[in-house]
Structure 1
Amino acid sequence: MPFEDIKFTIKTFHKHGLTKEAALWLLKIYQIEHPNFAGFEFREAAKPDFILMTTEGEIGNPQIIRIPENTFEFPLILMLNLLAHEMMHVKQKSKEIALQDKNEREWQAYYEMLFHKEFPLVPIATVYHQKFFAEKAMIYYNRSEKEANPLRLKYEAQKKEIEELIVKLE
């Protein structure tokens, strides 16, 4: 489906107050569903400079994603990337993966927002947002211990990819 048609459909959902339905529809269209996903719930309204989505639930149990009721008042490509970020957390918190380390979960989710390896249909964000995602990824990478940390070794190649992307985006 062409992106302009998707945007029109989302605007129609939004106009009728069907935010959760719009988000569920996007999960299908962009193939970012996961069996560990338990549904959407609402959180406080987002502001242009602060849009918060969270994944909630005990690791190993189904997860809900809290989204702002006004999610679709913001650029759709950004919202798709934020949804993909949260769906990475849904996957990471499944029984099969049960990834305990928050820094590693965030690192993987921000990496996904830049390179879309898990969810290849999600469009690339603006240069501004890619820089932001890259900075956030590096914050989580740098939180891991410096001396012979297995996480640093595990993600060394991805770190180089992000560093190269940052240079390219300048």
Structure 2
Amino acid sequence: MTSKVILEELRLSFKREAEFTSLEKALHSLIAVFDLGHPNFDGFLFRDSSPNTLTLTTEGKFGPDEKQKIRVPYNVLDFPLNSSAHLLFHEFFHIQQRETKTLSISRPQREFEAYLEGLTSPRRPKINLPKSLRTQFIEALHKYYNQMDEQLKMKYKSQMELVESAV
């Protein structure tokens, strides 16, 4: 069996779990399988399905004891499992960022760090990052890097160069 077939079988098992229990329970199983999670994670919220777009967002207040929820579309398990897992990792990184008492970093910096983690972190899911998602992450890195002030650009210059040299 190829890894692509294994991932599809796993995705279908999560879909069956969602049908027989609940989508939230199936997503908790997905989190467990890919070793995602954070103590401040407090479950999922759901948005309308979108046939072509997989949009996940983190919602909650900033602070060390503040619980966070991740909003996902109802059809999240209709998308390739490697995409869903990597986007969930991105959102769990945002939960980690939000645990500071006062989040003083700018949105471009937060997003840059989260996309960088998604491309380079040894903690990211141990499955292939789809080429289309990799391209999206790299484009987002450029977007948020270009929105930073010069001082932040200097701070992240070496990481940006490292990503660009790997492309």
TM bucket, shorter chain? 0.7 to 0.9
Counterparts in 2 of 1:72 and 1:54: CA distance versus 1, 3 Å: same
Matched, 1:110 2:115: yes
For 1:73 and 1:162, the matched residues in 2 are separated by: 30
Q: Which runs of 5+ in 1 are unaligned?
A: none
For 1:122 and 1:15, the matched residues in 2 are separated by: 26
For 1:132 and 1:107, the matched residues in 2 are separated by: 12
Amino acid of the residue matched to residue 162 of structure 1? V
For 2:42 and 2:104, the matched residues in 1 are separated by: 18
Query: How large is the RMSD of aligned CA atoms in angstroms?
Result: 2.1
1:38 is displaced (CA, Å) by: 1.1
For 1:36 and 1:130, the matched residues in 2 are separated by: 27
Matched, 1:136 2:137: no
Counterparts in 2 of 1:160 and 1:143: CA distance versus 1, 3 Å: same
The answer as to whether partners of 2:58 and 2:91 remain within 8 angstroms in 1 is yes
Q: Which runs of 5+ in 2 are unaligned?
A: 1-5
1:91 is displaced (CA, Å) by: 0.7
Q: What is residue 28 of structure 1 aligned with on the other side?
A: 32
Specify the SS of the correspondent of 2:45: strand
Specify the SS of the correspondent of 1:163: helix
Counterparts in 2 of 1:26 and 1:96: CA distance versus 1, 3 Å: farther
1:132 is displaced (CA, Å) by: 1.3
Task: Provide TM-score, normalisation by structure 2.
Answer: 0.85
Matched, 1:80 2:50: no
For 1:57 and 1:140, the matched residues in 2 are separated by: 22
Matched, 1:58 2:50: no
Counterparts in 2 of 1:43 and 1:153: CA distance versus 1, 3 Å: same
Q: What is residue 165 of structure 1 aligned with on the other side?
A: 166
For 1:8 and 1:29, the matched residues in 2 are separated by: 14
The answer as to whether partners of 1:59 and 1:93 remain within 8 angstroms in 2 is yes
For 2:90 and 2:140, the matched residues in 1 are separated by: 12
Segment drifting more, 16-25 vs 155-164: 16-25
- Measured against aligned partners, the alpha-carbon deviations of 1:114-151 in whole angstroms (never above 9, x if no partner) come to 1233x2434231222211110011101110013xx1x2
Q: What is residue 127 of structure 1 aligned with on the other side?
A: 131
